[in-house]
Amino acid sequence: MKLITPQNYDPRLSVRDTQEAIKYIRDTFQKEFAKEMNIWRISAPLFLEKSTGLNDDLNGVERKVSFDIHDKPGTEIEIVQSLAKWKRMALKKYGFNPGEGLYTNMNAIRRDEELDNIHSVYVDQWDWEKVILKSERTVETLQNTVRTIVKVIKHMEHEVWYKYPEAVYRLPYNVTFVDSEELRQMYPDLTAKERENKICKKHGCVFIMRIGDKLGDGKPHDGRAPDYDDWQLNGDIMYWFEPLQMALEISSMGIRVSEESLHEQLLKAGCPEREELPFHKAILNRELPYSIGGGIGQSRLCMLLLGKAHIGEVQASYWTDEMRAECEKHNIPLL
């Protein structure tokens, strides 16, 4: 069991007050985020047909939850792991123009997550996607979008402070950008996670760029599926989180693959056969809009803003009896 138990932990809010704060954060953030990003809410699926190739493969090793349905025997249906690819199809389907986009409340099951303070089998996030021009597939576009998201999160902290001053966790105003190879060279003897902790503790809020491709040591900073983010134009927004003494990832995002980068990344990942799937064919044939998108963890954001020691304090998920007992012993009230 991987569990961090902060010494003399005080959750500050009762379980009922925490529930109220969760609703307030979710309702308020998505309105402000949608306004700043010029995106609209749409409905999203909980499951997809496997043959479409639309489900997120994450690192490529995670087992998806699947089932069949009565009216279509022989068809395998999968619970989503995220909607990274589905959203790009939706941009076209709903007729969004450059500078416009969508967001949705995504609920997923990731059965192979190792349960700890920040990882759960149940994943809830705002999945968002926005149409851009091919000429806007630049580092500048990526970084300006990151700054907008960080600004909205900081403003959300102020909103929470007005209602729950005793509980709010204070955040930095600015974000520092660092390339994953630059970070590796800064701390060559550390693991990727240790490097994240070092840089986040130093700067407070960091966007680590270029995730998925191999670095100078022959290893990627972290895993990324080859068919949604462009590995040269993506990254993670991370905050230093004092209660757990660690970097806390709030968002994975990036400019999406073009026809050129999709082909290149599928070859690097050893899965060129995916080019025959409907989604991949649509990109290669330039039938889908160029886009930027990502996910913002809803429970992670609540955890960050309220200084919670465990994600189970802000979402109802599955935890082992051992973890529940240990959390109760250390005054960490799991829902």
Any idea which of 46-50, 147-151, 314-318 has the lowest mean pLDDT?
46-50
Q: What is the mean pLDDT of residues 72-79?
A: 90
Both tokens of 218, joined, read 């022959």
Is 238 within a domain?
yes
Confidence band for 156, pLDDT divided at 50, 70 and 90: very high
Spatial neighbors of 331 by CB under 8 A, at least 6 apart, are 9, 10, 11
Query: Tell me, what's the pLDDT at 271?
Result: 92
Beta bridge partners of 240: 247
Instruction: Report the catalytic residues.
Output: 56, 110, 125, 236, 249, 252
Is 2 within a domain?
no
CATH number, residue 76: 3.30.930.10
Query: Tell me, what's the pLDDT at 53?
Result: 76
Whether the pLDDT of residue 143 is over 90: the answer is: yes
Is 215 within a domain?
yes
Query: Tell me, what's the pLDDT at 51?
Result: 81
Whether the pLDDT of residue 291 is over 80: the answer is: yes
Phi first, then psi: give them for residue 122, nearest 5 degrees: -95, 125
Confidence band for 1, pLDDT divided at 50, 70 and 90: low
Is 91 within a domain?
yes
Is 4 within a domain?
no
| Domain assignment of residue 295, given as a range | 15-329
Q: How do residues 263-289 score in pLDDT, each as one tens digit?
A: 999 999 999 999 998 899 999 999 999
The pTM of the full predicted model, rounded to 2 decimals, is: 0.94
Query: How far does CA 68 lie from the centroid of its chain?
Result: 28
Is 8 within a domain?
no
Number of domains into which the chain is organized: 1
Q: What is the mean pLDDT of residues 144-171?
A: 95
212 backbone φψ class: left, alpha, beta (φ>0; ψ -120 to 50): left
Please indicate whether residue 146 or residue 54 has the higher confidence score (pLDDT).
Answer: 146
Query: Tell me, what's the pLDDT at 241?
Result: 97
**Nearest Cα to Cα of residue 209 among 199, 217, 201, 218:** 199
Query: Tell me, what's the pLDDT at 14?
Result: 95
SS (H, E, C) the chain: CCCCCCCCCCCCCCHHHHHHHHHHHHHHHHHHHHHHHCEEECCCCCEEEHHHCCCCCCCCCCCCCEECCCCCCCCCEEECCCCHHHHHHHHHHCCCCCCCEEEEEEEEECCCCCCCCCCCCEEEEEEEEEECCHHHCCHHHHHHHHHHHHHHHHHHHHHHHHHCCCCCCCCCCCCEEEEHHHHHHHCCCCCHHHHHHHHHHHHCEEEEECCCCECCCCCECCCCCCCCEEEEEEEEEEEEEHHHCEEEEEEEEEEECCHHHHHHHHHHHCCHHHHHCHHHHHHHCCCCCCEEEEEEEHHHHHHHHHCCCCHHHCCCCCCCHHHHHHHHHCCCCCC
Whether the pLDDT of residue 86 is over 70: the answer is: yes
- Is the CB of residue 150 less than 8 Å from the CB of residue 297? no
Query: Tell me, what's the pLDDT at 56?
Result: 75
Both tokens of 97, joined, read 């123009």
Is 335 within a domain?
no
Q: How far is CA 79 from CA 116, 205, 224, in A?
A: 22, 32, 19
Q: How do residues 214-261 score in pLDDT, each as one tens digit?
A: 999 999 999 888 999 999 999 999 999 999 999 999 999 999 999 999
Mean pLDDT of the chain: 94
- Is the CB of residue 192 less than 8 Å from the CB of residue 210? no
Confidence band for 171, pLDDT divided at 50, 70 and 90: very high
Q: How do residues 181-193 score in pLDDT, each as one tens digit?
A: 999 999 999 999 9
Confidence band for 60, pLDDT divided at 50, 70 and 90: low
Is 176 within a domain?
yes
Confidence band for 57, pLDDT divided at 50, 70 and 90: confident
